[in-house]
Amino acid sequence: MPKTDESEFREKARTWLTLARKNKWIVPKGIIAVFPCEACGSKLFIYDPVQCDKI
């Protein structure tokens, strides 16, 4: 199998991602986010991302 360089790989990846979007092969099923938080026992305290001293 011939070795491919990075630019060839990136071009192939871009092509496959374009096809995946166009043909809806990959469909997101959720959203994820990161928040400042703290756990204490079974409680979870989620802080305001702007004012981290505010719950």
The structure's pTM equals 0.43
Domain count of the chain?
1
The verdict on residue 16 lying in a domain is yes
Inside any domain, residue 52: no
Indicate whether 24 belongs to any domain: yes
Determine, yes or no, domain membership for 31. yes
Domain membership of residue 1 (yes or no) is: no
- For residue 28, the model assigns a pLDDT of 84
Residue 54 covered by a domain? no
What's the mean per-residue pLDDT of the chain? 87
When comparing pLDDT for 28 and 44, which is higher?
A: 44
**Residue 55 confidence (pLDDT) above 90:** no
Hey, which bits of the chain come out as E strands?
A: 37-40, 43-46
Nearest Cα neighbor of 26 from 18, 35, 37 is 18
